[in-house]
A and B are shown apart, each in its own frame.
Chain A
Amino acid sequence: MGGKMGVRENLISEVTINDTTLRDGSHANSHKFSKKQIEDYCQLANKANISIVEIGHGNGLGASSLQLGQSSITDQEMIKSARKHLTTSKLGVHVIPGFATIEKDIKPAIDAGVDIFRVASHCTEADLCEKHISYIRQSGFEVWGSLMMSHMLSPELLAEQAKKMKDYGAEGVIFMDSAGAYLPEDVATRVEVLLSEISIGVGFHAHNNLGMAVINSITAIKTGAILIDGSVRGFGAGSGNAQLEVLVAVLEKIKISSGVKLYPLLDLAEYAEEFIINEFPKIKSESIVSGLAGVFSGFIKPVLRVAKETGADPRDIFFELGKKKVIAGQEDMILEIAKNLVGK
């Protein structure tokens, strides 16, 4: 950090906010959002002037499955419910190739009115996104690349992967701290390396396993990120994301414009607290362990469920998952590991 960051600090005057409450929060309520919840939330988010409202299954389009949890309503129903009420805010979705395909998922999402797509892969696998990113770009829609579990790569290797996404047509690249494993200096280094290696927008997505989500997000903005994810009350997988109301308030204090209106945002958070959030994200023991083990926050719910069923210690499961370097989508490993731990 140091001097270099101080220089940048004077240059940054605005940032785009991407609200992931209805997408990352889907992990937290086991993918059970209703049409009414999506409609009401979007109406209020639109009033608060949030730039982008991201919705959908926690793992994005086409991810509703037994492996990851089935959504109560279809992707199409979710998109249509949100679309009705987002007049000034943009409607965003998350897409992971391997779950979603262009034919089955992306084309219908375009037809239903999605404005912005974020095509994601595990941090080492950017080339899986080539066709999807190019297709969306060529269709004339806004597309960003997302690199998940980015803490597993060095900043230089991360930049190589980001460069691929740029070459496919991504307008920017978001690096995700899916395991909530970063400290502020890790984030600063990555933003700086990404900015110097790929001259396109950089975004950051935080998780709060080690209590760093807000400061990591602020650090990302100060070092040059132009797109930041957050969710109201931090509602997201595991210990949650950067708490959006806190983030926007801090941005006001340091005079960086997010375009979000604070009071309506606070109202939105109150609404969500009553009608959306089934359980507040807390930094529970398992979250700390998953952050330390470098395991995707979305694993917490299924790990606890399997631990309860099998009698295995969830902390042991996490460290085993960490050792095996499992990634999102490999939830089937949980049961196998738990069974091995308890000796069948």
Chain B
Amino acid sequence: MSQTTVSTWEEFMEGVWRQNPVFVMVLGMCPVLAVTVSGINALSMGVATAFVLVCSCGLISLLRKMIPKEVRIATYIVIIATFVTVVDYVIQAVSLALYDALGAFIQLIVVNCIILGRAEAHASKTPPLPAMTNALGMGIGFTIGLLALGCVREILGAGTLFGVSLFGTGFQPWVVMVLPPGGFFVLGAWLLVFAAWERRKQRKFAAQGGGVQHV
């Protein structure tokens, strides 16, 4: 029983931390760089992607035994596109301003490699519960990645966080941060932080006599 609990937790944490899609696998960079001009955009995009991930992985896992391998890619794309369409309608129903802000990137979730990658590498081989748990972890990990960029870019580039002014009227925004180059600067900085963290962890592990740790 406890073994199952641990494995479900590990399944979940794989995407959140160990194999984080943004900072470790560096996947789905198109929305990561393009929509993270504000915290709310990043959060909405993350939640939308997580919803598509969980639903499509759940359905693919449920139907995995009856999907012939010859038509699996076509099937996965149809299923993913279905849930993207659902998200598209839901966002329009919730807020048109948000829908305009995210623009074509909602529809582009269809071609997000994290989702097709999860479907092919995980959901097609595992039962629905672990597949959805893993997908949820990946979705949350992706949302954390987007938020890490979105919050920093909004604070530096607009002086606000989730629309709330932080520095008053005297603040001169660092406009480049909300422009496309800002996405690369902030992503680069975050990758540097994660790489430094990883190196420190490895050194510590080696000092304890564990040799080289493979992650």
Do A and B pair up? The answer is no
Q: Which B residues are closer than 8 A to A by beta carbons?
A: none
Q: Which A residues are closer than 8 A to B by beta carbons?
A: none
